[in-house]
Amino acid sequence: MKTSDDPFETPVTHSGARAEGGVAPVPDLLSNSRSGAEITLRRLRIFWAVAHSATLTRAAKLLNVSQPTLSQQLTAFEAAIGVPLFERRSNRMILTDTGELLLRKAESVLRSAQEMEDSLPAVSSLARPIVRIAGVASVMRVILPAAMRLIADAMPGVEFDIHESAPAEILDLLYARRVSIGVMAANSVAEVSSGFQQIPVAADPFVLAVPEFLDLSGVSDPERDLGAPAMAILNSTIQFVFGTQHSSRIQDWFDMAFPNNRLATRVRSFELALDLVAAGLGVCVVPALTVLVGDHVRKGVRLYEIGLETRRIVAMVPSQYLRVAPYGAFITALQNVGQSIAMPTVSPMPPFIREAVARLAAADVPGGQAQ
């Protein structure tokens, strides 16, 4: 029989085992392989990825395999189990009741396998530890380099595998165990598995970014104090596409502060939004960290307090990783950098915005609390 060099092709269980005394054991989905089919860690991971991705295309992208290969492995896995695990509906894969039951078992097996893998560098003096991390670009480009310098001084030889991703993709990478640490805003996603811990890294206030030449200090009545050209800029909003409730909360804030505003531009990065603001094409609400470029403050923009809830940056990590080198040390480095980072200068809230916030509070209408 040909063996595979891929550790994920190692069979998890074999069928045909009987309990002591010749009595058949209690049926177990993970030991129900048929016709010589094997249940392997690789197939368990493919099953898990399809279950969480809901489509074969997305699961193939998550695991970095071709869709035909993934489909073939999934079919073999279902043959090994002996019952269908998914209902195929149009382009979606819906777990059957058996699939739901197996998913819970598979997650336990995969978690144990990952713990074993992660412990290997700690017991091998020849192994080079690797920190696999995914995070949102606005945080990674500011906090990550300094944290890497700290860990390099404390643990020379550590390698890094870095992914810049959106919050939903970060979670996918964490669930698939392709990364070990995810860095994002605490409330970027609606629900997070109890298997992950959220470690506070930094507090990142939301601010209003306007062109540097536009001074709002002391402005009580923008129409009277600024003139038409400046009002055209203030009323042109540039908004980052969050894909969450946060987008509507930002729009609510603009409606409160600038009643005549219009959405001028949608963007997919804070960096581009700030470039457009610096060019005088509008204003935007951004986290303060996004205004930093390495150790320097981006030129061409002026920042103001706006009263939205501060964005809490956290490192999400499976609980067991905190006890495994070098992950625990790197998370500590992230915290040290996040707590000591020098934020850009933010001017006090302009009078007309402060008055709008006060009116809103007096009316007892829920404010646009940012996530």
In this structure, the answer to whether residues 62 and 170 fall within a common structural domain is no
pLDDT value, residue 9: 37
Query: Which domain covers residue 183, as residue numbers?
Result: 125-201+312-340
Q: Is 315 left (phi over 0), alpha (psi -120 to 50) or beta?
A: beta
What's the CATH number where 316 sits? 3.40.190.10
In this structure, the answer to whether residues 239 and 195 fall within a common structural domain is no
267: which strand partners? 240
In this structure, the answer to whether residues 196 and 217 fall within a common structural domain is no
Is the residue at 2 inside a domain? Answer: no
In this structure, the answer to whether residues 219 and 273 fall within a common structural domain is yes
Is the residue at 85 inside a domain? Answer: yes
Domain boundary among 82, 104, 119: 119
Domain count, the chain: 3
Q: CA-CA distances (angstroms) from residue 149 to 35, 184, 284, 316, 337?
A: 53, 20, 32, 21, 10
**Is pLDDT above 60 for 367?**
no
17-26, 271-280, 307-316: which range is least confident on average?
17-26
Q: What is the pTM of this model?
A: 0.68
CA-nearest of 214, 222, 218, 300 to 257 is 222
Domain boundary among 103, 119, 135: 119
Q: How far apart are CA 94 and CA 53, in angstroms?
A: 10
In this structure, the answer to whether residues 193 and 322 fall within a common structural domain is yes
Q: Which helix (H) or strand (E) holds 355?
A: helix 351-362
What's the CATH number where 213 sits? 3.40.190
**Is pLDDT above 50 for 258?**
yes
pLDDT value, residue 284: 96
**Is pLDDT above 60 for 93?**
yes
pLDDT value, residue 3: 39
Q: Is 200 left (phi over 0), alpha (psi -120 to 50) or beta?
A: beta
In this structure, the answer to whether residues 163 and 257 fall within a common structural domain is no
30-44, 46-60, 74-88: which range is least confident on average?
30-44
Q: Could you give phi then psi for residue 202, rounded to 5 degrees?
A: -160, 155
Quote the tokens at residue 128. Answer: 């080079």
In this structure, the answer to whether residues 268 and 217 fall within a common structural domain is yes
In this structure, the answer to whether residues 318 and 303 fall within a common structural domain is no
Q: CA-CA distances (angstroms) from residue 253 to 163, 200, 324, 367?
A: 32, 26, 43, 8
What percentage of the chain carries pLDDT values higher than 90? 35
CA-nearest of 62, 72, 84, 8 to 39 is 8
Q: CA-CA distances (angstroms) from residue 202 to 102, 140, 292, 322?
A: 38, 12, 14, 18
Q: What is the pLDDT of residues 185-239, one digit of tens each?
A: 887 765 555 568 889 999 999 999 999 999 999 999 999 999 999 999 999 999 9
In this structure, the answer to whether residues 196 and 327 fall within a common structural domain is yes
Q: CA-CA distances (angstroms) from residue 73 to 47, 56, 111, 199, 276?
A: 9, 11, 20, 36, 47
Q: What is the pLDDT of residues 53-83, one digit of tens each?
A: 778 888 887 777 788 888 888 888 888 888 8
**Is pLDDT above 50 for 179?**
yes
* Peptide linkage before 351 cis (omega within 30 of 0): no
Is the residue at 72 inside a domain? Answer: yes
CA-nearest of 167, 169, 173, 171 to 132 is 173
Q: Which helix (H) or strand (E) holds 324?
A: none
Domain boundary among 73, 99, 119: 119
CA-nearest of 150, 89, 138, 155 to 242 is 138
Is the residue at 367 inside a domain? Answer: no
Q: How far apart are CA 236 and CA 128, in angstroms?
A: 51
pLDDT value, residue 19: 38
pLDDT value, residue 194: 54
In this structure, the answer to whether residues 189 and 319 fall within a common structural domain is yes
